[in-house]
């Protein structure tokens, strides 16, 4: 009896696979001209500011889709940055997240056991086998994976999958990058990708989402289903000069994108915070609200100039409340769901 | 002009107040026979298990109410434990949170600037003065404050307030203690206290909420509006022996509480996780679901025995989804809101 038990529980060797060798990373602009798990192509390194490049090595929104009949899925990896932030835990900054969809678009989630050591490990399962299930492994939101392997039992099969559909591209700030979700799948960009069952590319750069030309150039050259410009939280200011700066950046970005992608819907988004009389913070309220007003004026100008397929996501549609952020600027998971829901409602109006 | 500016921005000295000297701590069973910011009275130290005592020094659910006309509120404090956990950030484990209510029961939130150093500091405001506003400062969920001072400008007044109403008492696990909220005000016990405008006492003990006699004794001796027993996540098991253990603990707890407080509503709560076919985790699903079934059988037995004012919060009423927890067991802020909402809906049915 003891012998039988020990045979039954003996584990087969693990077959470790480096997804970089498979060329199957999703959630980024292109597969060529790109190093490791970076989000930005090498070609822009010389034209973007240094912090934009550094944040582009973070893996926000990057994911891998695969099918496997394995009961357990293991991942081991190393990262180069700090593991957490005061307002965002290791699981969000440096962790992984494993969701799955079936063949009718329904989504599932697989909790993982994690160890944050020099080599970080996640173990997912045991799960019941289902041949229709496509797993989606999200990479860290605020850290840079330097090496990663996905492991399944050597008697299991694993088949990577790649979506070829045009993506929604999000250009944004720390909020779009995923601060401060408790795990990667809860960044609003990743929530939205699942809600719409559409590939999403996350170009959120913490503190550095400033509607800059090199990033607009990249977006312009990537055929997209929707382009979201959600940069106002990194363009805050109350001076007339700042209002002019915002207008100038928005006009330049929208006209350039419209020229290269005449029919792609473009969404301009208010600052998600501000306009809440139940939040007691005079300084930030003024800052956020005046910034949103400046963005709105620029949006109205574009509409009056006849720019088509231009949409506006209002602060009031997002409707963050007194429990939705960790520090007023950055949504917690509750706020992330609100932001994703608001985008979904808007986008479903024009995306069929 | 330079001279005028420097006078205008010169700050008055800060008046620092130690709330312990004011005897104004809320969210705990009693003010006497208690050390520092502890939740448990000294008298139980010799009768509870060591981890229960240690967790009782954590300040989950402890808060201070005050009025002030200060534009800015500062707090400085020290803690004795680790500042964070892999799945819960410093702001939740060791941070503060400042809400406020006005005289018609509406709630407000004041974001804080924090520094997590040897002495942790929070700075709140600037806010507009409002003489009807009562602030509520929540203490850390998973750390032990060893020293704390609240500071306002020396020309401001500050007046501490104490609610005398009977509390809702929650006996629970890590989830009730607040794991894994991003900040203290988002622990479901604190959300619920605001939603119902009722004092709440948090007896959540991470990994150690096991319906034990010394804690039931404490609750029995504290006149309460509602008693919530939410301990199943620390009583998980799939054996018949575990089902018997759960039944025995629930029967003993409910009959003792009913004997000492004949009319106080008692709520028995399912495990908040489990029963979700979209969560792929066979082991935990089985564990959580069988534990909830055991608790439910015990509840039905009590109902059939004619125990009055006994209520049941169902897993399906909480309705956590694939985005509601950080690790399946512990709700994130999105899950915390769901749990508080479910309790609120239930309690408002019988609490007028």
For A179-235, how does the pLDDT look when each residue is reduced to its tens digit (9 = 90+)? 999 999 999 999 999 999 999 999 999 999 999 999 999 999 999 999 999 999 999
**So what's the pLDDT on residue B10?**
59
Give the max Cα distance, chain A.
Answer: 81
CA distance A38 to A145: 8
Indicate whether B324 pLDDT > 70: yes
> Which tens digit of pLDDT belongs to each residue from A147-173?
999 999 999 999 999 988 999 999 999
User: What's the CA angle centered on B32, arms B255 and B179, to 5 degrees?
Assistant: 65
Interchain contact, B280 vs A125, CB within 8 Å: yes
Nearest to A128 among B86, B278, B282 (CB): B282
Can you list the positions of beta strands (E) in chain A? 14-17, 25-26, 63-68, 73-79, 97-101, 107-110, 112-115, 120-124, 134-138, 145-153, 158-161, 168-172, 200-204, 226-230, 266-269, 310-313
Cβ–Cβ < 8 Å for A184, A178: yes
Nearest to A281 among B88, B110, B279 (CB): B110
Q: Do domains B11-27+62-161 and B168-350 have the same CATH topology?
A: no
Residues of chain A with Cβ-Cβ distance to B109 below 8 Å are 278-280, 322-323
Residues of A in contact with B93 (CB under 8 A): none
Residue range A228-285, pLDDT digits in tens = 999 999 999 999 999 999 999 999 999 999 999 999 999 999 999 999 999 999 899 9
B129 touches chain A (CB under 8 A): no
Looking at residue A10, its pLDDT comes to 59
Cβ separation A84–B89 shorter than 8 A: yes
Q: Is A255 helix (H, G, I), strand (E, B) or coil?
A: helix
Return d(Cα B256, Cα B212) in angstroms, integer. Answer: 12
* Contact by Cβ (8 Å): A201, A168: yes
CA distance A139 to B287: 29
A197: left (phi over 0), alpha (psi -120 to 50) or beta: left
Closest CA to A341 of A139, A238, A192, A212: A192
Beta pairing partners, B53: none
Other CB atoms within a 10 A radius of the CB of residue A251 amount to 16
2.40.100.10, 3.40.50.720, 2.20.140.10, 2.60.120.260: CATH of B11-27+62-161: 2.60.120.260
Contact check, Cβ <8 Å, A86/B87 = no
Across the interface, whether the CB atoms of B284 and A325 are under 8 A apart is answered no
pLDDT of residue B2: 35
Q: What are the residues whose beta carbons fall under 8 Å from the beta carbon of A215, sequence distance 6 or more?
A: A44, A48, A52, A171, A203
Picking from A86, A116, A186, the nearest residue to B89 by CB comes out as A86
> Closest Cα to residue B191, out of B344, B345, B24, B346?
B344
Q: Could you say which of A100, A282, A337 has the minimum Cβ distance to residue B126?
A: A282
A22-31, A88-97, A115-124, B145-154, range with the lowest pLDDT: A22-31
The nearest CA of chain B is from the CA of A67 a distance in Å of 14
For B314-351, b/e burial (b = at least 16 CB within 10 A) is ebebbbbebbbbbbbbbbbbbbbbbbbbbbbebbeeee
Q: Which residues of A touch B90 (CB under 8 A)?
A: 86-87
Give which of A281, A273, A276 is closest to A329, Cα–Cα.
A273
Q: pLDDT, tens digit, for every residue of B258-289?
A: 999 999 999 999 999 999 999 999 899 999 99
For the cut 70, the answer to whether the pLDDT of residue A122 exceeds it is yes
A332 contacts in chain B (CB < 8 Å): 182-183, 186, 332-334
In this complex, do A283 and B323 lie within 8 Å of one another by their Cβ atoms? no
Mean pLDDT of A123-140: 94
- Tell me if residue A215 falls in helix, strand or coil: helix
Instruction: Please tell me which of the candidates B111, B281, B335 has its beta carbon nearest to residue A328.
Output: B111
Closest CA of chain A from B190, distance in Å = 11
Find the farthest-apart pair of alpha carbons in chain B and give their distance in angstroms, rounded.
Answer: 82
Chain A residues close to B89, C-beta within 8 Å: 84-89, 180, 326
Within an 8 Å CB–CB cutoff, is residue B287 touching chain A? no
Over residues A308-315, the mean pLDDT reads: 98
At residue B40 the predicted structure's pLDDT band, cuts being 50, 70 and 90, is very high
Within an 8 Å CB–CB cutoff, is residue B327 touching chain A?
A: yes
Q: Does A332 touch chain B (CB under 8 A)?
A: yes
What residue in A sits closest to B115 (Cα-Cα)? A86
Q: How many CB pairs under 8 A join A and B?
A: 150
A328 touches chain B (CB under 8 A): yes
Decide if the complex's ipTM is over 0.85.
yes
Judging contacts by C-beta atoms under 8 Å, the chain B residues touching residue A126 are 281-283
- CATH code of domain A9-27+62-161: 2.60.120.260
The pLDDT, as a whole number, for residue B3 is 38
- What's the pLDDT score for residue A1? 32
Confidence of residue B131 (pLDDT cuts 50, 70, 90): confident
User: For residue B105, what pLDDT is reported?
Assistant: 87
Per CB-CB distance under 8 Å, the chain B contacts of A286 are: none
Cα(A114)–Cα(A127) distance, rounded to whole angstroms? 17
| Residue B8 pLDDT > 50 | no
- For B220, residues 6+ apart whose C-beta sits below 8 A from its C-beta are B256, B257, B259, B260, B261
Name the residue of chain B whose CA is nearest to A183's CA.
Answer: B326
A53-70: average pLDDT? 98
Query: Chain A within 8 Å of B138 (Cβ-Cβ)?
Result: no
Would you call A127 helix, strand, or coil by DSSP? coil
In angstroms, rounded to a whole number, what is the distance separating the alpha carbons of residues A178 and A219?
19
The rounded distance, in Å, linking the Cα atoms of B5 and A264 is 51
Instruction: Please indicate if any CB of chain B lies within 8 Å of the CB of A282.
Output: yes
**Of residues B334, B95, B40, the one with CA closest to residue B191:** B334
Number of helices (H), then strands (E), belonging to chain B: the values are 11, 16
Helices A333-350/A188-196 angle, 10° precision:
40
Question: Given this model, what pLDDT does residue B209 score?
Answer: 98
User: For the structural domain made of A168-350, what CATH number should be given?
Assistant: 3.40.50.1110
How far is B339 from chain A, CA to nearest CA, in Å?
Answer: 13
In 3D space, the residue among A201, A237, A200 whose CA is nearest the CA of residue A218 turns out to be A201
B67 touches chain A (CB under 8 A): no
Which positions ≥6 away from A322 have C-beta within 8 Å? Answer: A276, A278, A279, B99, B107, B108, B109
**Domain-wise residue ranges, chain B:** 11-27+62-161, 168-350
């Amino acid at each position: 009896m003891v012998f039988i038990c020990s045979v039954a529980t003996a584990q087969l060797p693990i077959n470790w696979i480096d997804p970089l060798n498979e060329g199957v990373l999703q959630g980024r602009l292109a597969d060529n001209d790109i190093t490791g798990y970076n989000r930005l192509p090498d070609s822009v390194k010389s034209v973007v500011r240094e912090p934009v490049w550094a944040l582009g090595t973070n893996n926000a929104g990057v994911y891998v889709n695969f099918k496997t009949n394995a009961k357990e899925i293991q991942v081991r990896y190393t990262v180069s940055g700090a593991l957490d932030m005061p307002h965002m835990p290791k699981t969000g900054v440096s962790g992984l997240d494993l969701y799955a969809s079936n063949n009718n678009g329904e989504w599932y989630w697989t909790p993982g056991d994690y160890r944050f050591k020099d080599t970080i490990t996640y173990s997912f399962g045991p799960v019941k086998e289902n041949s229709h299930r496509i797993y989606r492994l999200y990479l860290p939101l605020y850290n840079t994976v330097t090496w990663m392997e996905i492991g399944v039992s050597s008697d299991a099969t694993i088949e990577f999958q790649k979506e070829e559909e045009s993506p929604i591209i999000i250009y944004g700030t720390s909020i779009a990058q995923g601060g401060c979700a408790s795990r990667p799948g809860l960044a609003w960009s990743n929530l939205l990708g699942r809600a719409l069952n559409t590939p999403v590319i996350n170009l959120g750069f913490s503190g550095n989402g400033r509607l800059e030309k090199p990033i607009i150039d990249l977006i312009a050259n990537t055929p997209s289903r929707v382009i979201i410009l959600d940069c106002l939280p990194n363009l805050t200011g109350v001076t007339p000069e700042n209002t002019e700066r915002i207008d100038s950046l928005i006009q330049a970005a929208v006209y350039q994108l419209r020229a290269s992608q005449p029919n792609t819907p473009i969404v301009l988004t208010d600052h998600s915070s501000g306009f809440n009389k139940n939040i007691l913070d005079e300084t930030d309220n003024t800052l956020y609200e005046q910034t949103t007003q400046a963005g709105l004026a620029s949006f109205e100008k574009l509409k009056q100039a006849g720019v088509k397929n231009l949409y506006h996501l209002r602060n009031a549609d997002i409707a963050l409340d007194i429990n939705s952020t960790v520090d007023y600027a950055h949504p917690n998971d509750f706020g992330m769901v609100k932001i994703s829901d608001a985008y979904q409602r808007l986008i479903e109006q024009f995306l069929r």
